[in-house]
């Protein structure tokens, strides 16, 4: 006789898990120290989705907000934005540089925590983001000639939407890049369908063909 199992989300346990991530990370995660903001973003977003942000008291929320603002690189020209973590000392200004995915996740996390973004240096962030756009409309993750693809264009759009200011990108070339990417993807899938059809025909042929071993 089959048992009836009713799936139930352990909301409190998940909330405690996300809170734990915000408090301390295991030593095995040390290699991801440069992505702390990303972990904070997913943890806070997880609590928000669970409607459990109240597991963080006001002091904890304020501490998290202050930590994120410490990551803001301002008045640094094209290097402006939010860096990934506080691993760089304050006196190494030349090496501090905004990282587009972290700028997006930092802003989103601040909003989720209830911050009004009044301390965000909007002008600096947009200047740094603008410098990351390639001539083809896509974006690099940072100005040091890093990888460039649709992920970072998405982050740039999110930053622009959050700040309600699209002056940090050339929208015409960005839209052109998106349209071309969609068309390239469609052509690729058409080719893939043809390959799959041919592969199926070959499989059918050899499946019916006798195999002789001499």
The per-residue pLDDT for 183 is 84
The per-residue pLDDT for 33 is 78
What tens digit of pLDDT does each residue of 105-146 get? 999 999 999 999 999 999 999 999 999 999 999 999 998 877
Closest CA to 82 of 115, 111, 105, 109: 105
Closest CA to 54 of 80, 16, 87, 8: 16
CA-CA distance, 132 to 153, in Å (whole number)? 10
E-only strand ranges, the chain: 72-73, 81-82, 139-140, 148-149
Q: Which two tokens stand for residue 63?
A: 């501490």
What tens digit of pLDDT does each residue of 162-203 get? 999 999 999 999 999 999 988 876 666 656 554 455 444 444
What tens digit of pLDDT does each residue of 64-110 get? 999 999 999 998 899 999 998 776 656 665 667 899 999 999 999 99
In DSSP notation, 136-188 reads TS-EESSTTT--EEHHHHHHHHHHHHHHT--TTS-HHHHHHHHHHHHHHHHHH
What tens digit of pLDDT does each residue of 38-69 get? 999 999 999 999 999 999 999 999 999 999 99
């Amino acid at each position: 006789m089959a048992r009836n199992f009713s799936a139930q989300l352990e909301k409190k346990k998940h909330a405690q898990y996300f809170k734990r991530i915000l408090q301390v990370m295991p030593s095995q995660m040390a290699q991801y120290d440069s992505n702390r903001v990303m972990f904070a973003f997913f943890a806070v977003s997880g609590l928000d989705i669970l409607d459990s942000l109240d597991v963080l008291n006001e002091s904890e929320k304020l501490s998290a907000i202050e930590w994120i603002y410490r990551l803001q690189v301002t008045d640094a020209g094209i290097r402006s934005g939010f860096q990934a973590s506080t691993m760089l000392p304050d006196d190494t200004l030349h090496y501090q540089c905004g990282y587009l995915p972290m700028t997006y996740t930092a802003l989103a996390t601040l909003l989720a925590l209830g911050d009004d973004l009044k301390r965000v240096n909007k002008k600096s962030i947009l200047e740094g983001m603008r410098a990351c756009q390639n001539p083809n409309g896509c974006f690099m993750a940072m100005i040091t000639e890093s990888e460039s693809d649709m992920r970072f264009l998405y982050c740039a759009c999110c930053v622009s939407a959050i700040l309600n200011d699209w002056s940090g990108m050339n929208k015409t070339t960005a839209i052109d890049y998106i349209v071309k990417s969609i068309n390239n993807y469609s052509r690729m899938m058409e080719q893939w369908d043809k390959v799959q059809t041919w592969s199926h025909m070959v499989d059918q042929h050899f499946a019916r063909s006798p195999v002789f071993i001499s």
